[in-house]
Amino acid sequence: MSNPDLLLGGLIFVAAILYSSVGHAGASGYLAAMALFGLPPEAMRPTALALNILVASLGVYRYTRAGLSDWRLLAPFAIASVPAAFVGGVIHVPPAAYRPLLGVVLAVAAVQFARTARRAATDDKAASPPPPAVALASGAGLGLLSGLTGTGGGIFLSPLLLFMRWADTRHVSGIAASFILVNSIAGLAGTTFSLGALPQALPLWAAAALGGGLIGTQLGTRLLPVPGLRLALAAVLLVASAKMLFA
């Protein structure tokens, strides 16, 4: 195993810890890391989605066991997002047209989460779910963005749920993990790739992602207080923003 493969595995491990602590699976971080190491584009997307599915599956299991999932709230978002994500993956939009805008939006959201972290516990008390029609429409829009950007969609769902006060901070993590899992499975199913094009180091990176996910989900479900979760989410959004703006 080469040194670059080991170094990339280390970055994947760190990204998995950070992302999974807030219910995310790390696709944006994995893609950014792989781009730094010059992996071919045809290998990057299926590799990131495969790692995403692994970490998201772990997140769904652990957040559900901790009582932090809300399947009734998730259902309309997920039902509408999966077909919309497929449509988004088919549409070709020049990256220059949407990536900078999304990067700025994510950066603004990150700053807002960091700024309001101290009063997060008070804000959470006012959370209430949206009407089903609103959730379906929002899920379709999020799925489309997910398909266009090649992510699991959690970087868009989490800020929406929190800004609209549709869920409290801890339940957002569990909801996001499930949302990312179904969208990542749909995304990988619709991605054309050759098994021979996947990196030989994928098993190593999968182990790194799983190890990071074990640590991150432990932080998210038991150890991090609500303000800490908000700050972790702010960091995740900043990483995703940087990928949109500079990758």
* In the chain, where the domains are located: 3-246
**Rounded distance between C-alpha atoms, residue 109 and residue 88, angstroms:** 23
Mind listing the pLDDT tens digit for each residue in 165-193? Answer: 898 888 888 999 999 998 888 777 776 66
pLDDT of residue 194: 60
Instruction: With cut-offs at 50, 70 and 90, classify the pLDDT of residue 125.
Output: low
Give the pLDDT confidence score for residue 158 in this predicted structure: 87
Average pLDDT for the chain: 84
Q: Which of 28-37, 48-57, 176-185 has the lowest mean pLDDT?
A: 28-37
pTM of the full structure: 0.84
